[in-house]
Amino acid sequence: MSAVADTHGHGPAHDDHGGHGHHGPYGGFMRWVTTTNHKDIGTMYLWFAGSMFFIGGMMALAIRLELFHPGLQFLNPDFYNELVTSHGLIMIFGAIMPAFVGFANWQIPMMIGAPDMAFARLNNWSFWLLPFAATLLILAYFMPGGAPGAGWTLYAPLTVQQGIGMDFTIFAVHILGMSSILGSINIITTILNMRAPGMTLMRMPLFVWTWLITAYLLVAAMPVLAGAVTMTLTDRHFGTTFFNAAGGGDPVLYQHIFWFFGHPEVYIIALPAFGVISQVIPAFSRKPLFGYASMVYATSAIAILSFIVWAHHMYTVGMPVTGQLFFMYATTLIAVPTGVKVFNWVATMWKGSLSFETPMLFAIGFLILFTLGGFTGLVLSLVPIDIQLHDTYYVVAHFHYVMVAGAMFSAFAGIYFWLPKWTGRMYNETLGQWHFWLTLVFFNMIFFVQHFLGMAGMPRRIPDYPLMFETWNQVSSIGAFGFALAQFIFLYNLFTTLSRGQPAAQKQWEGADSIDWTHLPTPAPYHTFETPPVIK
């Protein structure tokens, strides 16, 4: 057993908590504070992501409530902008990213036959940075001037001018970035150095591959965001003028630096989602993944291209036509490797023996809706159309199709797929299917109609709108509340599974073939692969 995996739990409380042998972690709360076990940390990431998902969701509901009627009913415009900002930051950095890091923690060691993550203590610290960052984000609301109302992109010049809540947010972004970078270094090291004998790179499950590439993206992109917010901070307090127009700075420069991070960030969210889908679809098609090698290459191609397309988020800043053309062509090029992936998923299902349990339903929902989101992305990549649709609800609809129906559907697919292995208990299939269908219907009710609003010219980030937009906004708002209710089915299902779910089989899903299903009992023991398995 490697030295790093054995460092946990030599505390005073040898109480056999967690059902494992000769030495035990601390009991109760201290178990979670001090744990270095990848499964414990994965669990904490997922609970954290779940809580943030509900907090960010509440903010979305407040936004939709205000938009139910034109005019201002419930929120003043400043507070509305603060909610829009926090909703974005919390959902991206608090919910989606930690959810997939949670999957990575649980699954990567079990999928490559490693006993734990490479840096187990660092792993603990990467997680425990998050609650502090989230606290700073929320505390900003109680500062004079409130939370920043600059949108999740934190554009200058607004960020140079706002109150102390902005500084809280900047430090929160620093801490979140540090957490992600350390987590990514850990993931890369684990994957490259700790694979079981015979687990060559090209034999790794695709989920592990997508995380390897994502982790590289994080190491390369997150520091650039840290730089951008650091420049904002020094502009605010230390007299630099990177973005501060008064001293000759240029707010457009911020947009370039931000989106140099921001577009890879889109794939940091999407690639692990692709990874989960690439595990789920073959399992329920009872066929190996079609085009495994091309999936690896397509994922890499997407990652590399993601660094040269950033300015398609800012076609309207007044860049030369040459620049617009370059970013337009580079962006449309990304549709090629993405198309390869979608083709491969469909081809995996082709002539497969399909069954439609909840994880598969979410995966198919992902496949259809993510592709729709990809198509609207393709529409937005075209300069002449984008100039028309820039900053309208069409953009809002587009990125919610890839963030919610993409990343979040994939996260639900992953939770339903792996929950039996993690807990040893089977969720209630009927409730799972209700959760899926209601989520699917209400998701489209919220966001499909926003395409119409955007094409009709409704701008984003504004709490009021002309009367002619009212009908679709009402449909969207009703959808939002339905969507929220559907998530309580998930919560209920989750809690009843944890407390009294039926026992799950070792290989709960007939077609699942990665070594966590074939080599490990269910529930997965606290320590797994202390002796590396030999992969044939």
Partner 1 sequence: MTLNANQRLFGKLAFVALAMFGFGYALVPFYYQICAAWGVNSLGQLPDAAVNTQVDAGRRVTIEFDSNAHGLPWRFKPLVNHLEVHPGQVTTVEYEVHNERAVPVTAQAVPSFGPASAGEYFRKIECFCFTQQTLAPGETRRLPVVFVVDPKLPHDVNTIAISYTFFEVAGRGGKG
Closest approach, Cβ 188 to partner 1, in A, equals 6
User: Six-digit token pair at 400?
Assistant: 């919610």
Residue 62 Cα to chain centre, angstroms? 22
The answer for residues whose C-beta is within 8 angstroms of residue 488's C-beta and 6 or more apart is none
The H or E element spanning position 478 is helix 470-500
Closest approach, Cβ 18 to partner 1, in A, equals 25
CB-based contact 393:448 (threshold 8 Å): no
The answer for residues whose C-beta is within 8 angstroms of residue 151's C-beta and 6 or more apart is 81, 84, 85, 88, 158, 461
Closest approach, Cβ 536 to partner 1, in A, equals 23
- Closest to partner 1 by CB, 244 or 392: 244
Closest approach, Cβ 474 to partner 1, in A, equals 37
Closest approach, Cβ 533 to partner 1, in A, equals 17
The answer for residues whose C-beta is within 8 angstroms of residue 256's C-beta and 6 or more apart is 310, 311, 314
Assign residue 2 a region (left: φ > 0; alpha: ψ between -120 and 50; beta: otherwise).
Answer: beta
User: Six-digit token pair at 47?
Assistant: 């609970």
- Closest to partner 1 by CB, 256 or 286: 256
- Closest to partner 1 by CB, 250 or 391: 250
* Residues, the chain: 536
Q: Which residue matches tokens 């929320």? A: 138
**What's the maximum distance between 2 C-alpha atoms anywhere in the chain?**
69
Closest approach, Cβ 304 to partner 1, in A, equals 15
Closest approach, Cβ 208 to partner 1, in A, equals 16
- Closest to partner 1 by CB, 246 or 293: 246
Closest approach, Cβ 260 to partner 1, in A, equals 7
- Closest to partner 1 by CB, 113 or 365: 113
Strand partners, 503: 425
Strand partners, 392: 459
Closest approach, Cβ 186 to partner 1, in A, equals 8
What CA dihedral angle connects 411, 90, 149 and 261, to 10 degrees? Answer: -70
User: Six-digit token pair at 460?
Assistant: 């984003």
From the CB of residue 276, how many other CB atoms can be counted at a distance below 10 Å? 31
Q: Which residues are catalytic?
A: 87, 116, 152, 179-180, 263, 265, 267, 278, 312-313, 338, 341, 460
With 0-12 CB in 10 A as exposed, 13-18 as middle and 19+ as buried, what is 3? exposed
Q: Which residue matches tokens 């089977």? A: 426
User: Buried b vs exposed e over 420-441: b needs ≥16 C-beta within 10 Å?
Assistant: bbbbbbbbbeebbebbbebbbe
**Measured distance CA(342)–CA(353) in Å, rounded:** 19
Closest CA to 66 of 52, 87, 51, 90: 87
Cα–Cα distances in angstroms (integers) from residue 315 to residues 302, 308, 387, 493, in the given order: 21, 14, 7, 45
List the end-to-end C-alpha distance of the chain, in Å, as a whole number. Answer: 21
- Closest to partner 1 by CB, 118 or 453: 118
Per DSSP, helices labelled H in 382-469 are: 383-389, 393-402, 409-423, 429-455
Q: Which amino acid is at 138?
A: I
- Closest to partner 1 by CB, 156 or 281: 156
- Closest to partner 1 by CB, 143 or 253: 253
From the CB of residue 536, how many other CB atoms can be counted at a distance below 10 Å? 5
Cα–Cα distances in angstroms (integers) from residue 531 to residues 106, 255, 346, in the given order: 18, 49, 37
Closest approach, Cβ 266 to partner 1, in A, equals 17
- Closest to partner 1 by CB, 129 or 440: 129
- Helix, strand, or coil (residue 320): coil
Interface ranges with partner 1 (CB under 8 A): 2-4, 118-119, 161, 181, 184-185, 188-189, 192-194, 219-228, 231, 239, 242, 244-248, 250, 253, 256-257, 260-261, 318-320, 322-323
- Closest to partner 1 by CB, 316 or 502: 316
**Measured distance CA(212)–CA(438) in Å, rounded:** 33
CB-based contact 337:299 (threshold 8 Å): yes
